Chains A and B, each alone.
Chain A
């Protein structure tokens, strides 16, 4: 039974540190405790535990533009985070896991801000029939967490840009993302801020779990907001009252060095032990090229090149250069640059490889 409520807010917006803190909190959570963790990531695509990054996201484009790729412990599909998104995590002993109750916290927090949030199916939260929160779940050795995104004002162009499929044909085992119609909560409440939502979540958390708190949630409104009501609730939520039954956990209590390194490592992000094949082709002024790559643990295990270019040494030289190469743009770029080829061919081949990433 839940007897102690704890709230933790992330220190910064580094996705690897934030995921490390999430895992540290899971290790830390004790019997009778429930932790609500609130965090935000700067420009990041977060993929599910068992997803192929190249299938789900434009990894090269994302990282070359200063974004991050991250992999979480929980399952499901790829999501895009920026500072217009707020993440929440409920962490507890597995015996106290109660998904409907946890979702009620989110639903009530949204409703208290005038958002017409409603539950749909087992674990979706919708507003006006569109999804604003993606949820995922993880359990390990008797402990569990449930986390999710809350889209307040996410840059939808970036969602399209990084989560669009690459031009390559990719045959990989793993979990595929399911596309959903999404919506930002700002569409319902134009002046909504992430801080408003954080405050509302903490209040709803205390109220739904009601562990001796005296602070009640504002009345729940199921229907679209009447503006004056919404303004009152905003004022209420901005008072930033921390109910006395809640305790605060500070990130500084945890040593995250090792865990952060795991989440940021190429092995965790790209090194899945699960072979897949990728093929990409194009036609250039000097001939057509098709590349077939066999990738496992983040390294090209075998490369096959088909081309009608005049230079008959091109295919074997390219195959030799790519075999054993790390399946990331910088490594492939150096492999190509080491070959003696006309500059035009190098540029074309590099763009072909870039498209496959």
Chain B
């Protein structure tokens, strides 16, 4: 299992990276492994407001629908529309396949660094 050092992580298994004041959000390798084959990603639209801790979309896999909880409060400024046609990218490249980018971030969930997140995942088994 891979936990890139440059990313921050949530308890809900999303990753977050800050690029020039924009928060880039995706799901971790642990998450994609637990989900199994992803068949659809339900995305917000550019301009939508997201709230830290609230659902901003969902991932449907062969096992379940899982809500995506936003680690930040802000405005969606980009959506990875490639995922609409190729949802399996979340399985094959979870750290490359970002889901949304959020700007005007005003609030954040509690985040873990890679080491803390790895320990958290080990506990969840």
Contact = CB atoms under 8 A, between A and B. Distances in A.
A49 B58 contact: yes
A80 to B, nearest CB: 20
B39 A138 contact: no
A74 B84 contact: no
Given A50-B58, A140-B55, A141-B12, A73 B85 contact: no
Interface in A44-92: 48-50, 73-75
A269 to B, nearest CB: 15
Given A50-B58, A175-B39, A138 B44 contact: no
Interface in A130-153: 136-142, 144
Contacts of A50: 40, 42, 58, 60, 65
Contacts, number: 54
Contacts of A122: 62
A173 interface: yes
Interface string B57-68: 010111111110
A173 B84 contact: yes
Given A49-B58, A173-B84, A173-B85, A138 B40 contact: no
A353 to B, nearest CB: 27
A137 B67 CA distance: 12
B65 to A, nearest CB: 4
A140 B66 contact: yes
Interface residues of B, number: 21
B44 A273 contact: yes
Interface in B13-69: 39-40, 42-45, 55, 58, 60-67, 69
Nearest to A146: B64
* From A136, A140, A142, residue with most partner B Cβ within 10 Å: A140
Given A175-B60, A273-B44, A273-B45, A49 B69 contact: no
Name A's interface SS. loop
Given A50-B65, A138-B66, 11 more contacts: A50-B58, A73-B65, A75-B64, A95-B124, A122-B62, A137-B64, A137-B65, A140-B55, A140-B66, A173-B85, A274-B84
17 contacts: A48-B65, A50-B40, A50-B60, A75-B39, A75-B40, A95-B124, A136-B64, A137-B63, A137-B64, A138-B66, A139-B66, A139-B67, A140-B67, A173-B40, A175-B39, A175-B60, A273-B45
Which 10 residue pairs of A and B lie closest in terms of their CB atoms, listed nearest first? A137-B64, A75-B60, A75-B65, A50-B40, A140-B67, A49-B65, A138-B65, A139-B66, A175-B40, A50-B60
